């Protein structure tokens, strides 16, 4: 199994009350119907990343904060851009 030493992956954790806004914002998969579905998915992703030797940091920001961050960084609303925005947010915290 490959290992990625000293690499950190940032996962987005938003308030539960933002769930409907998040679904619209990311054009969420229809299988993710509840905040519980989202949390289950994120836990599985985190476990998989950690099995690969990656460090995982969850960054808690609202959907509005993510929109503002993408706009300020002049990034499109894509998974890759959202990940970059989380890394920038973490480094500024």
pLDDT tens track for 19-77: 999 999 998 878 899 999 999 999 999 999 999 999 999 999 999 999 999 999 999 99
DSSP, res 75 = -
Residue 57 phi, psi dihedral angles, 5° rounding: -120, 125
Q: Which residues contact 2 (CB under 8 A, 6 or more apart)?
A: 52, 53
pLDDT of residue 90: 59
pLDDT of residue 5: 57
Residue 4 has pLDDT above 60, yes or no: no
pLDDT of residue 93: 56
Per-residue pLDDT tens digits for 79-89: 999 999 998 86
How far is residue 23 from each of residues 2, 37, 73, measured CA to CA in Å? 32, 12, 22
pLDDT of residue 58: 93
Residue 14 near residue 22 (C-beta atoms within 8 A): yes
Residue 90, SS3?
helix
Beta bridge partners of 55: 8
């Amino acid at each position: 199994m490959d290992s990625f030493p000293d690499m950190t992956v940032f996962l987005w954790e938003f308030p539960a009350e933002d769930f409907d806004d998040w679904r619209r914002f990311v054009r969420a998969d229809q299988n993710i119907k509840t905040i519980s579905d989202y949390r289950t998915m994120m836990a599985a992703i985190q476990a998989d990343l950690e099995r690969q030797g990656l460090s995982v940091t969850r960054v808690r920001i609202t959907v509005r904060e993510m929109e503002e961050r993408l706009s300020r960084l002049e990034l499109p609303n894509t998974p890759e851009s959202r990940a970059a925005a989380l890394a920038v947010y973490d480094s500024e915290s």
